[in-house]
Structure 1
Amino acid sequence: MDAVREAVSPIRSGEEQDVRKTGDGESEPLLGSRTPDSHENAQQLTTRHAFAILVSLQIGSGIFASPAQVDSNVPSPGAALLVWVLGGLLSWAGAASFAELGAALPLNGGSQEYLRYVYGDSVAFLMSWIYIVGVKPCSMAIQSIVIAESIGAVSFTPPVATWILKLIAVSAFVVLVLLNSINTKLTMRLSESFTVFKITTVVLIVIGGLIAIISFYVDPNSSLSGADDWHTKNWFQTRPTFSGGRTVDWTSMGAWERYGHYSAAIYAGLWAYDGWDSANVVASEVVDPGRSLPRAIKAAMAVVLSSYEFVNIAYYILLPWDTMSTSNAVAVAAAKSLFGQSAGIIVTLLVAISCAGSITGNVFTGGRLIVAASQRHYLPAFLTRRGLFFSRKRPETVQDDAASPPTETGIMAIKFDAPIFANVLQLVVTLVYILTGSFGALITFVGMAEWLAYVSTVVGLLILRRREPELHRPYRPTTALPVTFIVVGSLIIARSAIFAPIPSGVLAGLILVGAVVSKIKGDAAPE
């Protein structure tokens, strides 16, 4: 057991472990003990904070942009709603599996730490490499691009020049990183505030759908009754959709092509749910993670799944069905259709705020991931430092003898506890993606990379159950959940590799570079 504890304790050379007293009075290292620079951050996050992080990360641009992608790849509105339920349940299965790992191994770093525990340093390094260089910055670049497009739609006459959108995206991201580089408490306040805005946006859209239903039954000719399709057509009747610049004829489509379209629809829905794993990244800072993480994950997934289903129902009530697959600004179009241009502007601003909340959550969890990777010597050690120290000498009455004058010694310091250097790294890499990437290319790449890590981690969960059945697991879901997650997730990865060869090639290249770097680091390590 000592070897196990040593394997999972993120300790840097020259630093001491936290210790606790055992029942017989002897000391032993804490599982997942922290480095000295993080003591004041130890276990300051509650169930409410973990819930806010999860909801803030999941309700971002996805629910306002993905519905068009889902609708265009299924034959009916009813099928689209089933896809949203399936995506939510699959994400819930993954979140429950991660909750078991987070409760049993309460370590900052999420998948990185679990992969290291199960497979070893090489696999953990590859995961860290992919997430730090690819997944996290790409996700934040996507959110920044959506913010820019939302602001551009309000402030400029379309079409808006690309360089203007890029400038807005860069400016928005820089401001958000600066706000999240002060201290943990401010970040938590921002996260909770953004969560309120996100839920408010969702509630307003759902209320719009309810107003349309009530108005129709009170007066079928009311201007507030939404579009006509929702009460004149069969929700499960097959109709043509618009995907990839062409009209999709579902009546003449073969099974293999249908699989491709349905996979794309599920893929878009899963991207909207993305972020369900992020509470585990800060598990060691959560009070009583064995109870808090599962409770936060269950509550967050229930809220998000319900919100997404009701929002999509509202979309199909407020908009003509043949327009759902032709616009990525579905929320704005729905608000404008019911209440006019002013409502569209308000919803546009709320969408931008929701994306800002997702960036806040990603900066917070991404910074902790980089810190955890640095503590494992995957990245330079200076990235583990939290905050900045602004210091000046101040006079103190320190005397060698009674006759000597006071000397100026001591330091007056103000410390900000956010991982500032890790945030700078995130800033630089994300700006590269903002300036060079597009929405479609980034979302495809992010999904493939994330699901490769997700499936590998949940496979590790089953391996760990068999290898270490005695490991204390405060929370353990039924085996059917991780097995289902692995099977469906593997099919999603296979679909992506077949139907999106360019992002697959980029991901394969990134993994190859990471493997080479890992090999070099291994050869350079002292015996």
Structure 2
Amino acid sequence: MVYFFFKLTRPSSLLAPEDEEGSRLLVAAEDAVDAPEAPSAAVPKGLSFLNGIALVMSLQIGSGIFLTPSQVAKNVPNPGCGILVWFFGGVLVWTGVCSFIELGTSIATNGGLQEYLRYCYGDFVGAFFSWTWVTISRSASMAVVTAVFAEYLCKSVLPGPTVSAVAVKSVALIGLWLMTVLNWTGPKAGADFANKFLVVKLGALVLIATSGMISSSMGVGDGTATSPYGWFGTDPSLPQTSLTEQISQFVTAIFAALFAYNGFESIGFVLGDVREPARSLPRILHTAMTVVITGFILTNMSLYMTLSMDQLRSTDTPTISFATKVLGPVGRVVLSIVVAISALGALNANIFATASLSVAASQRGYFPKLLGNLHCSSQADEELLLDAHGRRLGRYLGFLITQFSRLTAPSRWEKKVPVYAMTVNAMLVSMYLVLGTYDGLVTFIGISQYFFYMLAAGGVFIIRRKDSNAGEPGRFRTGSWNPIIFILCSSFIILRGVASNVSHGIALCALALVVFVVFKSRFSLGGHVQPVSLRGAGS
């Protein structure tokens, strides 16, 4: 089925051999594929330093921080250990960030991890990453984020303590497609909304952190101030666990925290659109990580100070429990709306970043050319193709495809917006929303993501060996301990995660096998490839 999809979306499958005009379009389309070597051709440069910070922080401050505190609490014995989990997770991510800065300033183009892995390990690893990221990691994450948006929005406006699953999924689908259509209008529109969403997200963290600490100091709540066990005491009524079980629980808690911190790597998917990437990337990532780690720790401290461990462990919506106790009914509604907007902002940033990855993958041949708008060389050629072959798709399907192509043509050809990639991504997310369940998804997403993060961090040493300019003065170079620490810690949590969830490892291996079959049919499994571009700090 996957192989057939590739064949179906190749221009040759749409053109009859005897069609001279179709053959001309085929040659033009193939030339269009070969011409843009750098994936940055997908969208025009125009993301400022503020846009970059907003994009990274919008991805990190999404639904995770408003959901995973409960998952962390379920897997730690006391509030102090919970704060340590958030601190350790933040430090681990920051060591990875330092590695990604060196990678990003060396290979400054759209595609992010795909381009890093492709250069360091070859095309197969780049293809495997792209398929995993788009079909599993990002799609599942976006489905969770969209569901959180819908659930919090429904709880803020609908009566009753519970909301039907049909209502939540319906609102989620509406929100998903509205944000997708918004991003059809151009990358600048999505970036501008990211800036506005960022203000709301930071406001939510500040509100929770300050109101919780003030309320706790006034004796409101059931948290650490009134608990006989304080920050590091453990309830003796809890069941005793072995060291192996404690390690597994700690790894599960770490995965929950890492899910909230995810998003730092996504600036690399649109790095080719960032102004002065060699100068901006370190500032963007270090600024974002400082704010996010501080905000997450203060927010969790506030939750632990106002809610008991039992209260945190018994809910999947800790923010609503917090607002009900501290802010009252009106505050509960207001904070629910703020969380919904925050999740919507994370969805917006994910749509833009994932579409950019899909375009880069299609330019490499990993994905169908249609996703990168490479099926024709120009809008005029596409019109000829639609006129000549639209009828072959059937009366109704042909009409829908033709009208959609013509409606989105200005965005695709003039603004270079990857409309087809965004649309396919929205379809995948819709499938997860309608059919999927989210038990265990956080761990599954974490295993798949940190496997590739670990490989990318190891790529720092490969780039240093291959790039003759790596040691030049002024070139950004992180301390070697950063990728080493990140690789060792990531290896440990991945192995423990797979040991506790064997089915997740099997699923990832099955996807690798599918990608291998598709890749083998289209490429040879050769050695390393050269990067799109290597840039020094002064470029």
**TM surpasses 0.5:** yes
What 5-or-longer segments of structure 1 have no aligned partner?
1-10, 19-30, 217-224, 241-246, 394-411
- What is the number of equivalent residue pairs in this alignment? 463
Does 2:241 correspond to 1:239? no
Contact 1:70 1:268 in 2 (8 A): yes
Alignment of structure 1 residues 204-283 onto 2, 5 Å:
204-216=207-219, 225-227=220-222, 229-233=224-228, 234-239=230-235, 248-249=238-239, 252-283=240-271
| Deviation (angstroms), 1:442 | 2.7
Q: Which residue of 2 aligns with 1:500?
A: 501
Alignment of structure 1 residues 419-430 onto 2, 5 Å:
419-430=418-429
Distance in 1 (alpha carbons) for counterparts of 2:40 and 2:436? 37
Q: Which amino acid aligns with 1:458?
A: A
Distance in 2 (alpha carbons) for counterparts of 1:302 and 1:231? 31
| Deviation (angstroms), 1:464 | 2.1
Q: Which residue of 2 aligns with 1:98?
A: 100
Contact 2:136 2:445 in 1 (8 A): yes
Contact 2:216 2:306 in 1 (8 A): no
User: Measured at CA, do residues 261 and 248 of structure 1 come closer, stay the same or move farther in structure 2, by a change above 3 Å?
Assistant: farther
Q: Which amino acid aligns with 2:278?
A: G
| Deviation (angstroms), 1:33 | 7.1
The percentage of aligned residue pairs carrying the same residue is 31
Distance in 2 (alpha carbons) for counterparts of 1:73 and 1:34? 43
Distance in 1 (alpha carbons) for counterparts of 2:489 and 2:87? 14
Q: String of CA shifts for 1:378-416, please: whole Å, max 9, x gaps.
A: 112222239x9799x9xxxxxxxxxxxxxxxxxx96744
Q: Which residue of 1 aligns with 2:476?
A: 475
| Deviation (angstroms), 1:189 | 0.8
Residue 333 of structure 1 is aligned with which of 298, 304, 321?
Answer: 321
SS of equivalent residue, structure 2 residue 477: coil
Q: Which residue of 2 aligns with 1:399?
A: none
Alignment of structure 1 residues 86-485 onto 2, 5 Å:
86-154=88-156, 155-216=158-219, 225-227=220-222, 229-233=224-228, 234-239=230-235, 248-249=238-239, 252-385=240-373, 415-468=414-467, 470-471=469-470, 474-485=475-486
| Deviation (angstroms), 1:265 | 0.8
Contact 2:224 2:306 in 1 (8 A): no
Distance in 1 (alpha carbons) for counterparts of 2:252 and 2:440? 14
Q: Which amino acid aligns with 1:330?
A: P
Q: String of CA shifts for 1:85-134, please: whole Å, max 9, x gaps.
A: 00011111111111110011101011100111111111111111111111
| Deviation (angstroms), 1:193 | 0.8
Q: Which amino acid aligns with 1:226?
A: G
Q: String of CA shifts for 1:177-234, please: whole Å, max 9, x gaps.
A: 1111111111111111111111011011012123214434xxxxxxxx3336425532
Distance in 2 (alpha carbons) for counterparts of 1:456 and 1:432? 29
User: Measured at CA, do residues 12 and 134 of structure 1 come closer, stay the same or move farther in structure 2, by a change above 3 Å?
Assistant: farther
Contact 1:17 1:33 in 2 (8 A): no
| Deviation (angstroms), 1:156 | 4.2
Alignment of structure 1 residues 6-17 onto 2, 5 Å:
13-14=31-32
Q: String of CA shifts for 1:441-480, please: whole Å, max 9, x gaps.
A: 3323211111111111111222222343533683211111
Contact 1:291 1:474 in 2 (8 A): no
User: Measured at CA, do residues 209 and 516 of structure 1 come closer, stay the same or move farther in structure 2, by a change above 3 Å?
Assistant: same
Q: Which structure has the larger Rg? A: 1
Q: Which residue of 1 aligns with 2:77?
A: 75
Contact 2:72 2:253 in 1 (8 A): yes
Supply the RMSD in Å over aligned alpha carbons: 2.6
Contact 1:99 1:293 in 2 (8 A): yes
SS of equivalent residue, structure 2 residue 264: coil
Q: Which residue of 1 aligns with 2:388?
A: none
Q: String of CA shifts for 1:289-345, please: whole Å, max 9, x gaps.
A: 111001000000000000000000110112123211111211111111012111111
Q: Which amino acid aligns with 1:227?
A: D
User: Measured at CA, do residues 13 and 150 of structure 1 come closer, stay the same or move farther in structure 2, by a change above 3 Å?
Assistant: same
User: Measured at CA, do residues 236 and 285 of structure 1 come closer, stay the same or move farther in structure 2, by a change above 3 Å?
Assistant: same
- Which moved further from structure 2: 414-423 or 164-173? 414-423
Distance in 1 (alpha carbons) for counterparts of 2:476 and 2:210? 37
Question: Which structure has more helix as a fraction of its residues?
Answer: 2
Contact 1:441 1:503 in 2 (8 A): no
Q: String of CA shifts for 1:21-64, please: whole Å, max 9, x gaps.
A: xxxxxxxxxx94743x64xx13x112211111110000011111
User: Measured at CA, do residues 212 and 261 of structure 1 come closer, stay the same or move farther in structure 2, by a change above 3 Å?
Assistant: same
What 5-or-longer segments of structure 2 have no aligned partner?
1-28, 384-408, 527-539
Distance in 2 (alpha carbons) for counterparts of 1:34 and 1:72? 43
Q: Which amino acid aligns with 2:363?
A: Q
Q: Which amino acid aligns with 2:231?
A: W
Contact 1:390 1:413 in 2 (8 A): no
Contact 1:110 1:281 in 2 (8 A): yes
User: Measured at CA, do residues 101 and 231 of structure 1 come closer, stay the same or move farther in structure 2, by a change above 3 Å?
Assistant: same
- Which moved further from structure 2: 162-171 or 351-360? 162-171
- Which moved further from structure 2: 207-216 or 179-188? 207-216
Q: Which amino acid aligns with 1:230?
A: A
User: Measured at CA, do residues 228 and 445 of structure 1 come closer, stay the same or move farther in structure 2, by a change above 3 Å?
Assistant: closer
Contact 2:110 2:269 in 1 (8 A): yes
Distance in 1 (alpha carbons) for counterparts of 2:39 and 2:341? 36
Distance in 2 (alpha carbons) for counterparts of 1:46 and 1:152? 35
Distance in 1 (alpha carbons) for counterparts of 2:487 and 2:277? 24
Distance in 2 (alpha carbons) for counterparts of 1:507 and 1:330? 31
Distance in 1 (alpha carbons) for counterparts of 2:216 and 2:47? 41
| Deviation (angstroms), 1:248 | 4.9
User: Measured at CA, do residues 253 and 424 of structure 1 come closer, stay the same or move farther in structure 2, by a change above 3 Å?
Assistant: same
Distance in 1 (alpha carbons) for counterparts of 2:317 and 2:39? 45
